[in-house]
Amino acid sequence: MKMLADNTYTDNGSGDPAGVLIVGKEKGMTSHDVVDLVRRRFSIRKAGHAGTLDPNATGVLLILLGRATKLSGTFLNEDKEYTARMKLGQRTDSGDSQGKVISGGEAMPSEERIRDVFKDFRGEVYQVPPMFSAKKIGGRKLYKMARKGRQVKREPRKIMISAIEVTGMDIPFVDFRVVCSKGTYIRQIADDIGEKLGCGAHLTELCRTRSGSFTLDRAVSVSRLKELRKEELYENIIRVQGSR
Backbone angles phi, psi at 4, to 5 degrees: -105, 165
pLDDT in tens, 35-77: 999 999 999 999 999 988 989 999 999 999 999 999 999 999 9
Residues 39 and 132 in one domain: no
Nearest to 201 by CA among 210, 215, 191: 191
Indicate if 94 and 66 belong to the same structural domain: no
What CATH number does residue 48 fall under? 3.30.70
Contacts of range 144-153, beta carbons closer than 8 Å, 24 or more positions apart: 146/93, 146/94
Mean pLDDT over residues 213-241, rounded? 92
On average, the pLDDT of the chain sits at: 88
Predicted local distance difference test score (pLDDT) of residue 225: 94
Same domain, yes or no, for 88 and 189? yes
User: What is the per-residue pLDDT across 100-125, written as a single tens digit (0 to 9) for each?
Assistant: 898 887 789 999 999 999 999 999 99
The H or E element containing residue 151 is none
Question: What pLDDT does residue 146 have?
Answer: 62
Q: Are residues 108 and 152 in the same domain?
A: yes
Which is nearest to 127 in space by CA: 100, 102, 164, 98? 164
Same domain? 72 vs 176: no
For the entire predicted model, the pTM comes to 0.87
Has residue 7 got a pLDDT over 80? no
What CATH number corresponds to the domain at position 85?
Answer: 3.30.2350.10
In angstroms, the CA 186 to CA 202 distance is: 10
The verdict on 131 and 229 lying in the same domain is no
Per-residue pLDDT, averaged over 71-88, amounts to: 95
Q: Which amino acid makes up residue 88?
A: L
- Residue 244 · residue 10 · CB < 8 Å: no
Same domain assignment for residues 22 and 102 = no
Q: Residues 117, 231: one domain?
A: no
pLDDT value at residue 112: 97
Please indicate whether residue 54 is annotated as part of the active site: yes
**71/104 same-domain check:** no
Q: Is the per-residue pLDDT at 195 higher than 60? A: yes
Which tens digit of pLDDT belongs to each residue from 149-185? 767 677 788 999 999 999 999 999 999 999 999 989 9
| pLDDT score recorded for residue 109 | 95
174 lies in the same domain as 143: yes
Domain hosting 156: range is 80-210
Same domain, 104 and 160: yes
Provide the 3-class DSSP secondary structure of residue 211.
strand
Choosing from 11, 54, 96, 191, the catalytic residue is 54
**Residues whose CB is less than 8 angstroms from the CB of residue 14 and which lie 6 or more positions away in sequence, other chains included:** 45, 46, 66
Cα separation of 71 and 46, whole Å?
13
Q: Which candidate, 61, 49, 46, 37, places its Cα nearest to that of 16?
A: 46
171 and 60 within one domain = no
What total of structural domains would you count in the chain? 2
